[in-house]
């Protein structure tokens, strides 16, 4: 039996503006999360038809919860990382484990993956993160303490770091 897979997208509103989830529907796999930006609708409409999938709705809800200050569970099994190399995936999985309210430098991530001289590679891998917010690349900063770049802009990155620092203080240990 032939199973058809369609490329779809879901545009949803957040406190930061409209975002989109790009996904295939059978089986459900996210291919990218688009942060708020002016050309979001145009990009999403070129990518595929707007569609409905309960998992896409669930991911949108998870992202909105995060942006409203809640610690979230991340559906890694729904992320299609096949366009990334094994080393890029290793970098992003290391970034995914930076605790809520904390940051790591590009250098620290390079050291944690056993490649202490690969700071620039870490930076380029983080820049290619197809799942911002779910894989919290905004938690990666420069060694000098500067916040560095972010696909949603440095202002959004700073707002996310501020949100987490305020909420992390009020979260009981072990939660």
Q: Which of 87, 80, 161, 79 is nearest to 124 (CA)?
A: 87
Residues 6+ apart with CB under 8 A from 117: 110
Query: What is the C-alpha to C-alpha distance for residues 33 and 22, in angstroms, rounded to an integer?
Result: 6
CA-based torsion, 108, 163, 96, 41: positive or negative? negative
Catalytic residues: 137
In DSSP terms, 30 is beta-bridged to 23, 79
Give 12-19 contacts, CB < 8 A, sequence gap 24+: 12/60, 12/63, 12/64, 14/63, 14/64, 14/67, 15/64, 15/67, 15/68, 16/67, 16/152, 16/156, 16/159, 19/60, 19/63
């Amino acid at each position: 039996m032939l199973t058809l897979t369609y490329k779809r997208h879901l545009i949803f509103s957040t406190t930061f503006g409209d975002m989109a989830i790009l996904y295939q529907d059978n089986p459900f796999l996210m291919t990218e999360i688009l942060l708020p930006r002016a050309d979001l609708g145009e990009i999403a409409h070129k990518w595929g038809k707007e569609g409905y999938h309960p998992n896409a709705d669930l991911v949108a809800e998870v992202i909105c919860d995060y942006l409203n200050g809640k610690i979230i569970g991340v559906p890694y099994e729904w992320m299609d990382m096949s366009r990334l190399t094994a080393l890029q995936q290793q970098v992003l999985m290391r970034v995914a484990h930076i605790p809520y309210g904390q940051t790591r430098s590009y250098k620290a991530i390079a050291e944690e993956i056993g490649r202490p001289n690969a700071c620039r590679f870490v930076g380029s891998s983080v820049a290619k993160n197809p799942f911002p917010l779910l894989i919290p690349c905004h938690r990666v900063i420069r060694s000098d303490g500067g916040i560095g770049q972010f696909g949603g802009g440095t202002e959004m990155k700073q707002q996310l770091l501020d949100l987490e620092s305020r909420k992390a203080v009020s979260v009981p240990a072990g939660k």
